[in-house]
Structure 1
Amino acid sequence: MTNTAIIGLGNLLLGDEGLGIKAVQELTEEAPDNVSVIDGGTPGFRLLNSFEEYEKVIIIDAVKMQKEKGDIVEFKVNKAPDIEKLSLSAHDIDFLDALAVGEEMEILPEIKVYGIEIGKVDRTNYTMELSKEIKEKLPKLIEKVLSEVKNESNPQKTHNN
């Protein structure tokens, strides 16, 4: 069993909202063997299974945090946030509800979220293409996630003299 999972969240039919899925599609080939890479879609409470199974979960998702479109964000989740104060993406209520239930059940692993600010999503325009701004930032986001999991997989050995 691996102790770390990378889970991409999103809806491929809503353009930039699908960036988490696009990221894990690329990460599947590049992640270390001891890291599970999961296409999470829009899972909601299904995330609870991952919370119980892994010691660390890295979530990749589109975010809406009132930053500039294309800004890369990363933050740790120590507890379920106040749902009224945070908006992540189109499926955020299910994700946040899963965090709240995981916290209540005392099964939250270490959770880190990596995302890209996507701004407003037009829910009437179905496309599987990422916007230019998001497509340009996706390699940098993937690089950050890979750097984190590879550093964990190959900790530096220290020598005592």
Structure 2
Amino acid sequence: MQPVRVIGLGNLFRGDDAVGLHVVRSLRGRVGNHVEVIESGAGSLDLIEWIEGARQVVLIDAAKSGKPAGTIHRVDAVTSRLGDSFSPASTHALNVADVLELGRVLGRLPSSLIVYGIEVADLRSGEALSPAVAAAVEGVAAQVLRDLEEPAHA
């Protein structure tokens, strides 16, 4: 059976950039054994490997579109391009939206790919999330749990 993966991206030492990691950490122990929970501070090209062969992927990362910090964006990346809704604000070497487009061109996207972007306020060095971003973590986690309850597209 193809795996289901929840992937949190970020850097624990860059303030709000770590929001994806905080969300997936809050999900550990709350998802079924059939769900792989992945934390990554590595480069975005690893995403191609993680999404390839998966049935369903939920990806969580920092974003910056000019909306208030803590705003949650949810994009179905199978039917919509990520860049149309928000700009990833993470400090990864490559833009997540570009990597997902590469996956689309190569035919490597899963049948279900949901991307959450949480608006950030502070990407400076430090381990703490800003208050508005920290407040969004549980809301995103709850939405991810709902996504995982829905069957992936056939």
TM bucket, shorter chain: 0.7 to 0.9
Aligned to 1:78: 78
Distance 1:51 1:118, change over 3 A: same
Deviates more, 1:7-16 or 1:25-34: 25-34
Q: Percent identity?
A: 28
The answer on whether the counterparts of 1:80 and 1:99 sit within 8 Å (CA) in structure 2 is no
8 Å CA contact retained: 2:9, 2:21: yes
**Partner residue of 1:117 out of 107, 116, 119:** 119
Partner residue in 2 for 1:159: none
Aligned twin of 1:134? 133
Partner of 2:39: 39
Map 1:3-152 to 2 at 5 A. Answer: 3-78=3-78, 81=81, 87-89=87-89, 90-91=91-92, 93-109=94-110, 110-119=112-121, 121-122=123-124, 126-152=125-151
* Runs of 4+ that moved beyond 6 A: 82-85
CA-CA distance at 1:66 after TM superposition: 1.7
Q: Distance in 2 between matches of 1:51 and 1:10?
A: 17
Q: Which structure: larger Rg? A: 1
- Asked if the contact 1:51–1:57 (Cα under 8 Å) also holds between the matched residues in 2, the reply is yes
**Count of residues in Structure 1 that have an aligned counterpart in Structure 2:** 150
For 2:31 and 2:131, the matched residues in 1 are separated by 25
List alignment gaps of at least 5 residues for structure 2: none
Local SS of the residue matching 1:29: coil
1:116: Cα distance to partner? Answer: 1.5
Equivalent residues of 2:75, 2:85 under 8 A apart: no
Indicate the RMSD between aligned Cα atoms, in angstroms: 2.5
Give the superposition deviation at 1:61.
Answer: 1.0
- Compute the displacement of 1:10 (Å): 0.8
Query: How many Å separate the matches in 2 of 1:85 and 1:2?
Result: 28
What letter matches 1:62 in structure 2? Answer: A
Q: TM-score w.r.t. structure 2 length? A: 0.84
What is the letter of the counterpart of residue 114 of structure 1? Y
Q: TM-score, normalised by structure 1?
A: 0.80
Give the structure with the higher percent helix.
1
